[in-house]
């Protein structure tokens, strides 16, 4: 969004035009909200049934402008007006599906749509964004067999490694974890090579940009940055920017962050993470176990 709000309007107009051409619809009104409403109605009428609207990463323009309050608020206003078309198009809609990082209730973009339901941690949809163990073993049997044949690994060891590396997502209190699709597919595409492929797509670069632009101090003034405690494990995270993972780990030791859990019977992990402001990504990270 280097071009600001005009770029956002242009992107929305271009997407609407592309969808209209797909269905042989001519958009006349220049207002993008009116174009959106007209497109929904005409698609529904042409199909003879109500339309479905799917929006992926609806909050991307907001995250990209988060460090510029003026442009951010202008982008929010444009999106609010654009999505307001959905309210008046209700009778032409079968359902609306949105994905994004920011909770829609927190951004005031959908304030008029009071019937939206957050599915993120709904146990009924706990497996919608990943691959279950059953799906893996049934649908990827040829890929699994190919890796085993090419590498000579034992099936039991290989399946355990797959679970440990890619089966770490859980979207509800329901005891169901799913495999990361992007990581799993790349793993098979790379002949069974174990790498954190999801890392390339999931890094919250907007946070790094915000930290840099706002000069937020994360060189942690002696307080624990993040602590995760479970029944059997304790994870202490220390974050640095333009430093090293080793420096982060050293601070955990120097400040004795893990001392309160020493002797607790739980396994203790120290994790050091360094953000690279130029790459807008994690530069390096390391972990050690505490005695």
- Do 143 and 114 share a structural domain? no
153 located within any domain: yes
Go through 217-236 and write b for each residue having 16 or more CB atoms within 10 A of its CB, e for each that does not. Answer: eeebeeeebeeeeeeeebeb
10 and 113 belong to one structural domain? yes
Domain's final residue, options 118, 149, 178: 118
Other CB atoms within 10 Å distance of the CB of residue 275? 23
Amino acid 175: pLDDT: 83
State whether 147 and 113 are in the same domain: no
- What pLDDT was estimated at residue 191? 92
Residue 208 inside a domain? The answer is no
Q: Write down the pLDDT at residue 179.
A: 95
Instruction: Return the structure tokens found at 207.
Output: 């946070």
CA–CA distance, 15 with 18 (Å, rounded to integer): 5
- The pLDDT value recorded for residue 222 is 59
Question: Which pLDDT score is estimated for 225?
Answer: 83
- Give a yes or no: residue 207 inside a domain: no
Co-location of 253 and 278 in the same domain: yes
User: Number of structural domains, the chain?
Assistant: 3
Q: What is the pLDDT of residue 204?
A: 58
Out of 175, 200, 225, a domain closes at 200
pLDDT at position 159, please?
95
Verify that 28 and 65 share a domain, yes or no: yes
Token pair belonging to 241: 């920017």
The CATH number assigned to the domain holding 274 equals 3.40.91.60
- SS3 category, 65: coil
Written as tens digits, the pLDDT of the chain (291 aa) is: 556 788 999 999 999 999 999 999 999 888 999 999 999 999 999 999 999 999 998 988 888 888 788 888 999 999 999 999 998 999 999 999 999 878 776 678 887 777 788 888 899 999 998 999 999 999 999 999 999 999 999 999 999 999 988 998 888 888 899 999 999 999 999 999 998 887 666 555 666 666 666 555 555 755 788 889 988 999 999 999 889 999 999 999 998 888 888 888 899 999 999 988 777 678 889 999 976
Residues 175 and 106 in one domain: no
Same domain, yes or no, for 11 and 108? Answer: yes
Indicate if 9 and 111 belong to the same structural domain: yes
Domain around 172:
125-200
Contact between residue 32 and residue 16 where contact means Cβ atoms under 8 Å apart: yes
pTM here is: 0.67
* Amino acid 214: pLDDT: 56
> What six digits make up the tokens of 103?
């909770």
Q: Do residues 62 and 153 share a domain?
A: no
Does residue 18 share a domain with residue 102?
yes
Residue 152 sits in the same domain as residue 251:
no
Query: Is 248 in contact with 176 (CB distance < 8 Å)?
Result: no
Alpha helices in 190-274 (DSSP H): 199-202, 205-213, 245-254
**Strands (DSSP E) found in the chain:** 51-55, 93-98, 226-229, 233-241, 267-276, 281-290
Please say which residue of 200, 230, 249 terminates a domain. Answer: 200
Residues 51 and 111 in one domain: yes
């Amino acid at each position: 969004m280097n071009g600001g709000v005009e770029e956002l309007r242009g992107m929305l107009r271009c997407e609407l035009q592309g969808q209209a051409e797909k269905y042989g619809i001519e958009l006349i009104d220049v207002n993008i909200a009116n174009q959106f409403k007209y497109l929904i109605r005409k698609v529904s009428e042409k199909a003879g049934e109500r339309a479905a609207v799917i929006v992926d990463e609806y909050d991307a323009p907001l995250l990209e402008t988060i460090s510029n309050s003026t442009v951010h608020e202008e982008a929010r206003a444009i999106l609010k007006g654009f999505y307001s078309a959905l309210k008046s198009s209700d009778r032409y809609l079968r359902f609306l599906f949105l994905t994004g990082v920011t909770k829609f209730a927190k951004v005031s973009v959908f304030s008029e749509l009071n019937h939206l339901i957050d599915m993120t941690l709904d146990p009924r949809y706990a497996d919608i964004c990943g691959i279950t163990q059953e799906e893996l073993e049934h649908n990827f049997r040829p890929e699994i067999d190919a890796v085993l044949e090419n590498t000579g690994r034992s099936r039991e060891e290989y399946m355990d490694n797959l679970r440990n590396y890619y089966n770490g997502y859980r979207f509800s209190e329901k005891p169901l974890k799913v495999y990361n699709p992007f990581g799993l597919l790349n793993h098979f595409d790379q002949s069974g090579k174990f790498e954190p492929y999801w890392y390339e797509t999931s890094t919250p670069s907007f946070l790094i940009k915000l930290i840099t632009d706002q000069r937020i101090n994360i060189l942690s003034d002696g307080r624990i940055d993040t602590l995760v405690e479970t029944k059997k494990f304790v994870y202490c995270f220390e974050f640095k920017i333009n430093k090293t993972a080793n420096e982060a780990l050293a601070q955990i030791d120097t400040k004795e962050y893990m001392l309160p859990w020493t002797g607790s019977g739980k396994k203790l992990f120290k994790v050091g993470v360094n953000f690279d402001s130029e790459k807008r990504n994690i530069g390096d990270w390391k972990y050690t176990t505490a005695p």
